[in-house]
Amino acid sequence: MGKIVFYEGRNFQGRHWECSSDCMDTFRHFNYCNSLRVSGGHCVLYEKPHYMGYQYILSPGEYPDYHWWMGFNNCIRSCQMFPPYRGSYRMRIYNRPDMMGHSMEFMDDCPNVYDRFRYRDIFSCNIMEGYWIFYEHPNYRGRQYFLRPGEYRACGDWGCHNPMVGSFRRMRTLM
């Protein structure tokens, strides 16, 4: 499916560990992560064990420093791998919990949610096709949230405490 190589030092230096499957607690493999390489698919890194805390969604590539993946620090405690996806993308967002209120369907990236949806808050959504990434701020900045197909009846279902979503994009595999 894919592989992540975690390095304790910047620029791929120091102790390292290779991972080719989901890992709910990386602590026994390394103390901190300052650089990494991702190949063969996307991955989601989490600041805490058991897929909790800040999320970082990475495409295949090299990341010589944690700032390259918009990391707040060098603490990575769990990870999930996702194979390349080449299908369709479709989701519906709602301005109220439990799929209520004003809604809009999307099939493409949105750099500014307010400009297109006229609401700043997304309280629930239904991901019908594809993998999506929500960002806290417009233009794909701030905290990231990974969403796979399914119903998310409240913003806490995708790991956030605040329903404000500034932008979102499809998690695409470049050919």
Tens-place pLDDT, residues 18-30: 999 999 999 999 9
Enclosing H/E stretch for 24: none
Name every residue whose Cβ is closer than 8 Å to that of residue 36 and which is 6 or more positions away in sequence: 4, 5, 6, 7, 58, 63, 69
d(CA 92, CA 142): 22
Pairing relationship of beta strands 61-63 and 150-152 according to DSSP bridges:
unpaired
Q: Which fold has domain 88-168?
A: Gamma-B Crystallin; domain 1 (2.60.20)
User: Exposed, middle or buried, 86 (CB in 10 Å: 0-12/13-18/19+)?
Assistant: exposed
d(CA 150, CA 91): 9
pLDDT computed for residue 74 by the predictor: 94
107 within 8 A of 88, measured Cβ to Cβ = yes
Q: Which amino acid would we find at residue 131?
A: Y
Tell me the pLDDT tens digit for each residue of 97-116. Answer: 999 999 999 999 999 999 99
Tell me the pLDDT tens digit for each residue of 46-84. Answer: 999 999 999 999 999 999 999 999 888 999 999 999 888
- One CATH from 3.30.450.70, 3.30.70.2740, 2.60.20.10, 3.30.2020.10 for 1-80: 2.60.20.10
Tell me the pLDDT tens digit for each residue of 131-154. Answer: 999 999 999 999 999 999 999 999
Pairing relationship of beta strands 167-170 and 132-137 according to DSSP bridges:
antiparallel
- What single DSSP character describes residue 157? G
82 within 8 A of 171, measured Cβ to Cβ = yes
CATH 2.60.20.10 in the chain, residues?
Answer: 1-80, 88-168
- Look at residue 175 and tell me whether its pLDDT is greater than 60: no
d(CA 116, CA 107): 13
- Look at residue 127 and tell me whether its pLDDT is greater than 80: yes
Overall pTM surpassing 0.85 (yes/no): yes
d(CA 57, CA 114): 23
